Amino acid sequence: MSPSKPPRGGTRDGWAALLLLAIPVAAAVFLLRGDASGSGRGGDASATLSLVETLGGADTVGYARATEPRPFVFPADHGPHPDFRSEWWYFTGNLEGDDGARYGFQFTIFRGALGPPERASAGVAAVDGSEVASTADSSNDWDTRQVYLGHFAVTEARTGVFREFERYTRGSAGLAGAEVEPFRVWLDDWELVEMEGDPGAGDAVWPIRLTARDTAIGLELELVPRKPPVLQGDRGLSQKGSEPGNASYYYSYTRLGAEGTVIVEGEPRPVRGEAWLDREWSTSALSDGQVGWDWFALQLSDGRDVMVYQLRRADGSPDPLSKGVVVATDGSARTLPLDEFEVVPTGSWDSAIDGSTYPSGWTVRIPAEGIDLTVTPILDDQELDVSFRYWEGAVDVDGTSGGGDVTGRGYVELTGYAGADIGPRSGEG
């Protein structure tokens, strides 16, 4: 296994950083691929990214690193952190129509730097070697080292249709970018934007309107936090490897109210439901021996939210850096080390693309919290066939929490199961 995909969990952020590292390469691969854009089922496996290639030359020189806890300031931290190599705004959610139709959605905007931030911009040299244009003259609206990547996927439970879309755009000329005042993160006509009106819970950027559309599917949602942001790891510093700086800054909104419209084949359908936002930025690279991860974000009917991720090592064992968090109704959170939770697959699914086998269906247990849950995908095939392959899908939850019966909904992300023949670092032993 090898394809990479950004993990959002505390440990997943190693991968995540790598992913963004991978963007330049991905962009190149993207350009080199012959097939059409949009929902690209059936792209050839050889064209998908190999993290080994991607990360071979990972260079962190010139970038900021996440070495110690920092104060998070909102709304500023909702905006971009261009000194870090990579960053994302990662939304997932479960929605329901007036008619009871069930939808899942994923909407992610990744930012990646092609090179470390520059202090001086280069001019255009004349033949005689003198600088013709002054620094001011040579700056150009198109100049940028920032690349934005968007993933948008919608699962329709009733029809069993899963659609995914991928876009790359340069972070300049107004084509893609991230701004704080007013809050706006966009990539072409995909957009997260601060809405006029009452400030919601937390800080001033909310509510945020999410707009995404592509062939045959569109989504417009108004998002309002139901809980304050949760700082992951150690006060928002999420350590992913033993080396200092091999970490990310990471916060989440584990429960957002979502209301709006899903547009299917041009037909608007009113929907409401709940969503989850992960925000993370980092520079450093993947740890040795990690091949992928299984990540769970579950919203329970008793008001609690559970996030656990299990980082898989080449020998099949979970990495000790795997973590979790339980967020109470009031927003208070407790971090879970690996030994406090257990994730056991109960079934499997073979990829429609090449037969790669993914786990499908799990039991998730957190004994100390009295949590014992059965997690079931609402659709087997929620695999994204984009520059790097991964499975990101809506799930149903059923079980017990704190002694009572609960139901719930959530999202699961599985990486490192399909794609190129070897996983990151595994080939290097």
Partner 1 sequence: MNLVRAASRRWALRHPGQVVLSVLGVALGVAVVVAIDLAIQSSRAAFEVSTETVAGRATHRIEGGPSGLPDSVFTRVRTELGLRASAPVVEAWAASERWEGTALRLLGVDPFSERPFRPYLAGGGPGLDVDVLLNDPAAVVLPEALALDGGLEVGDSLALVVEGRSRVAVVAGTLTAADELARRGLADVIVADVATVQRFLDRPGRLTRIDLVLSEEPAAEAAVLAELDRIVPAGARVLTVGTRSDSLSGMLRAFDLNLTALSLLALVFGMFLIYNAMTFSVVQRRELLGSLRALGVTRGEVTRMIGMEALATGVVGTTLGLGFGVVLGRGLVRLVTQTINDLYFSVTVESLTLPPEVLAKGTLLGVGATLLAAWPAVREAVQAPPRMAQTRSLGEDRVRRLVPRAAVSGGGLVAGGVVLLTIPSRSLLLSFAGLFAVLLGAALLTPLATVVFVRAVLPLLGATVGILGTLAARGVTAALSRTAPAVAALVVAVSVTVGLGVMIQSFRGTVVEWLDHTLQADIYVSPPSPISSRAEGALDPGVVERLSAVPGIAGRSTYRGTELLTDDGLLRVVALDLDPRGEASFRFLDVEAADAFGAFRGAGAVLVSEPYAYRNGVEAGDRIELLTDRGPTPLEVAGVFKDYGSERGVVMMARTTWSQLYDDDRITSLGFFLADGVDTDEVEAAMRSAAGADQAVVVRSNRALREASLEVFDRTFAITAVLRALAFGVAFIGVLSALMALQLERGRELGVLRANGLTPRQVWTLVTTQTGVLGLVAGLLAVPTGLALAVIMIEVVNRRSFGWTLDMQVGGGLLLQAVGLAMAGALLAGLYPAWRMSRTSPALALREE
Closest approach, Cβ 152 to partner 1, in A, equals 12
In the bound state with partner 1, the residue whose beta carbon lies nearer, of 165 and 341, is 165
CB 413 within 8 A of CB 294: yes
Alpha carbon separation from 239 to 85, 112, 210, 320, 338 (Å, rounded): 16, 20, 30, 11, 14
Q: Does 27 bind partner 1 (CB under 8 A)?
A: yes
Stretch that binds partner 1, among 67-75, 86-94, 136-144, 239-247 (CB under 8 A): 136-144
Torsion over CA of 273, 197, 172 and 178, rounded to 10 degrees? -60
> Count of residues binding partner 1 (CB under 8 A)?
48
CB 280 within 8 A of CB 90: yes
Q: Does 120 bind partner 1 (CB under 8 A)?
A: no
Sole binder of partner 1 in the list 58, 114, 195, 352 (CB under 8 A): 114
Closest approach, Cβ 245 to partner 1, in A, equals 23
Q: Is 132 helix (H, G, I), strand (E, B) or coil?
A: coil
Write out the DSSP string of 166-222. EEEEES-TTSEEEETTTTEEEETTEEEEEPSS---SSSTT-SEEEEEEETTEEEEEE
Closest approach, Cβ 42 to partner 1, in A, equals 16
Closest approach, Cβ 405 to partner 1, in A, equals 45
Q: Rounded CA gap, 109 and 19, in Å?
A: 12
Of residues 198 through 237, those in contact with partner 1 by CB under 8 A are 213-214
In the bound state with partner 1, the residue whose beta carbon lies nearer, of 142 and 196, is 142
Closest approach, Cβ 93 to partner 1, in A, equals 22
Closest approach, Cβ 79 to partner 1, in A, equals 18
Q: Does 132 bind partner 1 (CB under 8 A)?
A: yes
The phi, psi pair for 297, rounded to 5°, reads -125, 110
- Residue for token pair 């590292």: 21
Q: Does 61 bind partner 1 (CB under 8 A)?
A: no
Strands 290-300 and 371-377: unpaired
218 beta partners? 213, 263
Stretch that binds partner 1, among 100-108, 141-149, 225-233, 294-302 (CB under 8 A): 141-149
Please report, as ranges, the residues that interact with partner 1 according to CB under 8 A: 24, 27-28, 30-34, 36-38, 114-115, 121-128, 130, 132-133, 137-145, 147, 167-170, 172-175, 186, 188-189, 191, 213-214
